[in-house]
C-alpha cells in the first residue's frame, strides 16, 4: 500500500517539475505572440495569467500540505517500527547471553 | 538520450523557466503600475486672466506626464456659483498660447496654456469650471484608455 502511494507521490513530483519547467516559458511566449499580433488584448492575458498563477499556487499549497502530512506519518511509523526492531534485537541478545551463561 | 544531454536540457529548462517567471512578474507589475498611473501627476489647471474682462478665457495646465498619452476627447463647462447655470466651452475654438503639445504625447514636465472664447451670454459672476479629458496611453506593449478630470477651477467674469 505504502509502495503504491510512494510511487504516486514520485509521479506527482515529476509532473510538478515538468509543469514548473514548461508553463512559464510557454505562457510568456504565447502571450507575447497573441498580444503582439493583437489576437488577444493584454488586459485579458494579464487576468488569465493572474488566475493561472493563483490556481497553481493554491493547488500546489494543498498538495504540499497533504504530501508533507503523508511523509511525516510514514516517517513516524517507520521510526516506531525501527524502535520495536531495536528492542527485539536487544531481547534476543539478552536471551543468547543467558543461554551461554547456563551452558 | 545520453545522461549528459539530459542534464544539459534539464539545466537549460531550469534557466529559461526562471527567466520567464521573472519576466512575467516584472511585466505584470509594470502593467499594474501603468494602468493605475494618472495621465498627469501633481497637476492642476487654473485661469490665468482672472477676473476675465475680455472675450477670451485663458487656462494653464501644469504638472508632469509619465507615459505617452494622446488626447482623444475633451469637455469643459462652467457652473455659476449663484444661479447654477451651466455654460459649455467650445474646445473646437481653442487657441494655444504657449504649448504645441497638449494633444501630443511627450512625457516629462507639462506646461500648457490655451485660450477659449467666452461663451455667449455668460454673465458676470464667479464660476466653477470642470474639465473632463480622455486619453489613449501607450507604454511598451501596453495600451489603455484613461480619463482625467479637473474640478474646482475658479473663474471670475467681470
Does the structure show a pLDDT above 60 at B111? yes
Place of cell 474646482: B152
Q: Is the dihedral of CA A41, A46, A49, A54 positive or negative?
A: negative
The pLDDT, as a whole number, for residue B113 is 86
A64-101: b (≥16 Cβ within 10 Å) or e: eeeeeeeeeeeeeeeeeeeeeeeeeeeeeeeeeeeeee
Strand B68-80 relative to strand B86-88, pairing = antiparallel
**Complex-level ipTM:** 0.73
This model's pTM is above 0.95: no
Does the structure show a pLDDT above 90 at B40? no
Q: Is B33 on the interface with A (CB under 8 A)?
A: no
CA of A36: how far to CAs of A32, B26, B142, in Å?
A: 6, 18, 10
| A32, A36, A46 ranked by CB distance to B28: nearest | A46
Averaged pLDDT, B128-133:
92
Chain B CB contacts of A22 below 8 Å:
13, 17
3-state secondary structure of B47: strand
Does the structure show a pLDDT above 90 at A61? yes
Task: Find the closest chain B residue to A17 by CA distance.
Answer: B14
User: Angle at which helices B3-36 and A2-36 pack, to 10 degrees?
Assistant: 50
Residues 93-152 of B with CB under 8 A from A: 141-143
Does the structure show a pLDDT above 90 at A83? yes
Amino acid at each position: 500500500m505504502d509502495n503504491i502511494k510512494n510511487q504516486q507521490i514520485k509521479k506527482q513530483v515529476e509532473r510538478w517539475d515538468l509543469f514548473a519547467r514548461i508553463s512559464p516559458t510557454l505562457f510568456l511566449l504565447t502571450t507575447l505572440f497573441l498580444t503582439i499580433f493583437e489576437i488577444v488584448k493584454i488586459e485579458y492575458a494579464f487576468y488569465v495569467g493572474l488566475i493561472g498563477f493563483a490556481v497553481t499556487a493554491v493547488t500546489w499549497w494543498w498538495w504540499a500540505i497533504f504530501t508533507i502530512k503523508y511523509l511525516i506519518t510514514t516517517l513516524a511509523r517507520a521510526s516506531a517500527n525501527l524502535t520495536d526492531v531495536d528492542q527485539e534485537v536487544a531481547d534476543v541478545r539478552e536471551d543468547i547471553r543467558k543461554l551461554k551463561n547456563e551452558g | 538520450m545520453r545522461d549528459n544531454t539530459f542534464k544539459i536540457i534539464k539545466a537549460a529548462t531550469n534557466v529559461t523557466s526562471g527567466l520567464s517567471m521573472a519576466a512575467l512578474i516584472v511585466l505584470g507589475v509594470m502593467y499594474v503600475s501603468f494602468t493605475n498611473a494618472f495621465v498627469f501627476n501633481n497637476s492642476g489647471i487654473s485661469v490665468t486672466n482672472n477676473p476675465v474682462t475680455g472675450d477670451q478665457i485663458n487656462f494653464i495646465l501644469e504638472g508632469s506626464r509619465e507615459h505617452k498619452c494622446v488626447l482623444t476627447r475633451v469637455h469643459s463647462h462652467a457652473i455659476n456659483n449663484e444661479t447654477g447655470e451651466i455654460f459649455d466651452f467650445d474646445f473646437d475654438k481653442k487657441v494655444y498660447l504657449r504649448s504645441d503639445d497638449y494633444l501630443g504625447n511627450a512625457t516629462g514636465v507639462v506646461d500648457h496654456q490655451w485660450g477659449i472664447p467666452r461663451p455667449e451670454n455668460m454673465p458676470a459672476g464667479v464660476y466653477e469650471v470642470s474639465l473632463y479629458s480622455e486619453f489613449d496611453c501607450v507604454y511598451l506593449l501596453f495600451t489603455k484608455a484613461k480619463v482625467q478630470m479637473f474640478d474646482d477651477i475658479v473663474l471670475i467674469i467681470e
